[in-house]
Structures are given as C-alpha cells and as structure tokens.
Amino acid sequence: MHNPTPGLPEFDYVNPASLAEASQFLADHQGEARPFMGGTDTFVRMRDGFWKERYIVDIKNLDGMGTISFDPETGLTIGAAVNMNKVVASPVVNEHYPLLAEAAHSVASYQLRSRATIVGNICNASPAGDTIGACLVYGGSLKVHGVDGIREEPLSSFFVGPGKTVLKPGDIATAITFPPSPAGHAGRYLKLGRNALSDLAIVGVTVLGYPNGETPSGYCFRIALASVGPTPLVAAEAETILAEKPITAAVIAEAAQAAMDSCSPIDDVRGSGRYRKYMVRNLTQRGVVEVFSLISEQWTVD
C-alpha cells in the first residue's frame, strides 16, 4: 500500500491564524501538540520515533516572525522564523554581530540552513547547538508569547537540561533580541566535528572579547562551551581570570585550563569525555589568542 508519509507517523498539521490562537491550542493540547519552525529537528525526532505528537503546529508564518531589525540604541531582533542562511547573509548581522553569522554558517549545509532557524536551535536545547554560544555571549533573550501574555527569557537562565528549557505549554518564542554589541569586539566560534561539514559538534567553543576600561586587564571576554555538559555552558571562571589579570600567554593558558575544569562531558559516539575536556582547553586557548590578537594592537598570534 502507498504510504504518503514514509518514515513519519500520522499527525495533524495545524495552521493557526494568530499567536493567541497558537498559544491557546498548544496549551489546550499539552503533551500532544508541538510548535515547529524549520522542522529540521522536529521531523527527524518524529521519524525516529522519539516524539509522538498528534498535532504539529506551524507557527512560522505568524506576524513579525520573519524579519531581522536593528537599532543602534536598542540592538538586534531576529524573528523566530528567520532561517540561518538569512542570518549568515544579513548586512547588519555581519557588521554588528559577526560571531552570530560565523556560528550560523557552521551549521550543517546550505540546504539545511535554508530551513533551520536560530530560535529552533535554541528551543531544541541540545547542548551541541552551534548558534547557542554566540547568542549567549552577545547577551541574547527570547521574546516569548504565552497564554498569560508576553515576556522576556534571558538565555542565561533558559536551559534546564538536555532538550529542556523554561518554556511552558502554550509558550512560543517569537524572536531573539540582543543588546547593542560591545564596541571594538571580535569573536570566534571553534567547532570540532567528525568531519568539516554537516556534523554536530564534538566540542564547540565560542569566544567574544572587547576592550573594557572597567576591568583590571583592560579587556572583557565571554566564553561559551557546547557539547560538554547537559546544557550549553558559560566558562565563568575563565572569563574572570581574563578580566582580572594582565593578559599574557600564561594567563590565557590558565583561563583555558579553568574552562576545561568547568565542564564534565560524557562519553558518546562522537568522542570520549576525556578527549572533549582536553579539546575545550585547546580550543579555548586558541580562540582567546585569536580574539585577543584582533582586539589588542600589541599582540600577534604565534
């Protein structure tokens, strides 16, 4: 017999007319309905039998979800339905938040990025999500529409476990917002995969740095780690070392060691926990050296 949806279970496609209708439907069908954007996680998880929702709710055409806007005073807003290729190609993202474009470009292939979204990457809450680190270090927050109204959820407190977030039934992230990026900043996303293209990170290290007159070192660094814990991590101790001590090769090595000590990765098909820890140290060291060489006039990469 002909199977119209090979590999996928049967489900109902729901196309709400408004955010209010979408949130209400999701809240009324808790446990059996799920929103989707690009669907690049959703349909794979359904095909593989991990998710068995009866209703799949298409929210990507709802108002205001498809645009990128920038204001020098208030910062950047990326609608939840904006796909990663649009982020990679966006002039304002490349001028003011280049690390976001670099991170989005590291995701899989052009074809996948024409569907996949940054907000989907975040809401999927995989510790390996490639764009999450850049969103964390730029101070991102999600705008969330729920049955009780609209609120902001800072990414710093958004992730509660693998695949788990603070979102409640009926909640829909409508956009991610960022404050103005720090003057003179530079960033790097160093992703270690099993191949150069189209693989999830064994380890991902995001480094953002900028001159800062208020820290003893004269600089501020933000460092996020992917695939080395149950949630995306911030290497806070490493950041403190780089803020408090004059930056030298030895201090960068100390910060990289602190980043390594801050994570507790598991063994899995992509790499052992021990290997991941050492790669966190090596990639943090490399990332900080590269970023420091860009933000400091006296320093060059060895």
271's tokens: 């790499």
Which whole-number Å values give the CA distances from 36 to 2, 185, 199, in the listed order? Answer: 26, 34, 22
Burial of 281 (0-12, 13-18, 19+ CB in 10 A): buried
Q: Taking Cα atoms as reference points, which of 103, 110, 115 lies closest to residue 42?
A: 115
Candidate ranges 7-15, 90-98, 127-135, 205-213; the one touching ligand FAD (CB under 6 A): 127-135
Q: What is the Cα–Cα distance from 195 to 197, expressed in whole angstroms?
A: 6
Nearer to ligand FAD, 56 or 243 (CB): 56
Segment 168-227, which members bind ligand FAD (CB under 6 A)? 172-173, 198, 200
Among 21, 39, 69, 177, binds ligand FAD (CB under 6 A): 39
Stretch that binds ligand FAD, among 92-100, 109-117, 239-247, 283-291 (CB under 6 A): 109-117
How far is C-alpha 264 from the chain's CA centre?
Answer: 19
* Sole binder of ligand FAD in the list 37, 88, 192, 247 (CB under 6 A): 37
123 touching ligand FAD, by CB under 6 A: yes
Looking only at Cα atoms, what is the longest distance across the chain?
71
Pairing state of beta strands 203-211 and 186-192? antiparallel
Interface with ligand FAD, residue 101, by CB under 6 A: no
Judge residue 108's burial from the number of C-beta atoms within 10 Å of its C-beta, 0-12 exposed, 13-18 middle, 19 or more buried.
Answer: middle
Q: According to the binding rule CB under 6 A, does residue 80 interact with ligand FAD?
A: yes
* Residue 44 sits in the site that holds ligand FAD (CB under 6 A): yes
**Least gap, CB of 91 to ligand FAD (angstroms):** 22
Contact predicate 16/57, CB 8 Å: yes
From residue 56 to residue 75, what is the string marking binding to ligand FAD with x (rule CB under 6 A)?
---x----------------
Comparison of 156 and 248: residue with beta carbon closer to ligand FAD: 156
Could you count the other beta carbons within 10 Å of the beta carbon of residue 196?
7
DSSP-derived secondary structure letter, 268: B
Q: Is 239 in the site for ligand FAD (CB under 6 A)?
A: no
- Report the residue number, 108 or 251, with the smaller CB distance to ligand FAD: 108
Those residues whose C-beta lies under 8 Å from the C-beta of residue 44, and which sit 6 or more positions away, are none
Candidates 6-14, 15-23, 122-130, 150-158 — which segment interacts with ligand FAD by CB under 6 A?
122-130
Q: Which stretch binds ligand FAD (CB under 6 A): 9-17, 106-114, 179-187, 243-251?
A: 106-114
Taking CB under 6 A as the rule, does residue 53 contact ligand FAD? Answer: no
> Who's near 14: CB < 8 A, 6+ residues apart?
25, 33, 55, 56, 57, 58
Query: Please, what is the minimum distance in Å from the beta carbon of residue 240 to ligand FAD?
Result: 28
Nearer to ligand FAD, 42 or 285 (CB): 42
Q: Footprint of ligand FAD on this chain (CB under 6 A)?
A: 34-42, 44, 59, 80, 107-108, 112, 115-117, 119-121, 123-124, 128-130, 167, 172-173, 198, 200
